[in-house]
Structure 1
Amino acid sequence: MSQHHLTADVYHAYQIVKSHGIPEKNIIVFHYDDIAHNKVNPTPGIVVNTLGGPDVYQGVPKDYTGIDVNPENFVGVLMGDKTLKENNKKVLESGPNDHVYIYFVDHGDEDVIGFPTDYLYGEELNVALKYMHQNNMFAKLVFNMETCHSGMGPSC
């Protein structure tokens, strides 16, 4: 699966969540943002995730883009990192009554998930998820991971 198709899936997921009334302040989006204005994109500024489908790029926030799409920031967002917040970056600020949905799509392998320029290892992700639990950052948590070796299929 191409990196561009994966990013288009993130944009589509954003559009679905937004259309179901989730406030913008409660949505944090990581995307490299290299598709819409790429010179090989036949429709500059437009991204579709299905042939002939609607533009899923329009309105997608640029919370974390380019080199900011990395494991450190992802874990920091999950743990509500104060330094990120002080630098005007969105972080998870949920509490014990909140429902948290995480949709992660990229490449992966056993015990590792991919980011554009680095990897996040299983133990590092587990530390963040345990922190979230111990600090009552959710009532319910759904983590939808779409990567190779994530249970979604035998290979990419």
Structure 2
Amino acid sequence: MIAETICSAASAAGLGIAAVTAYRKRFLTAARIAAYALVPIGLVLTGVVEWVAGIAFDPSVWIGFLLLGAAWLLFVTTRAVERRRGPAREERKAARRGGDDGRIAPAASAPSLRQAPTGQRAGRPGEKPGGTGRTEPGDDFSDIEAILKKHGL
């Protein structure tokens, strides 16, 4: 009963504001305000407000929402724990056997970035053996390419 009264008052106030706006020759804005003002009274007349009020004040509905929230929380936490734990037991066993299932182990297939090429001194990536420290324009992204290759991208 109170919700219907509030919605009716909001619609009446909105239509009043729309009338004042139309009086000021802003007809497009007035039509838009009138459209918004008719929504609450339309919801009252269709019974939506009564239905929502029935749901909002029913304790069994709130218990249902709490149970749905608890189920969602369990799904999220188990998924996060599963991701942190790593591969499943079957996948670890297959990796120990040598990957009989056709999967490629990413760590075994990726080249190591820490190995320095033979014949060159260890320095910054892209640094020439001459020691000038300058890189050619094509060598700027060589370390990034190596990282991407390591991760299979």
Category of TM-score, reference length = shorter chain? under 0.3
TM-score, normalised relative to structure 1: 0.19
TM-score, normalised relative to structure 2: 0.20
The structure with the largest helix share of the pair is 2
Q: Larger Rg: 1 or 2?
A: 2
Task: Work out which structure has the larger RCO, using CA pairs closer than 8 Å and 6 or more positions apart in sequence.
Answer: 1
The structure with the largest strand share of the pair is 1
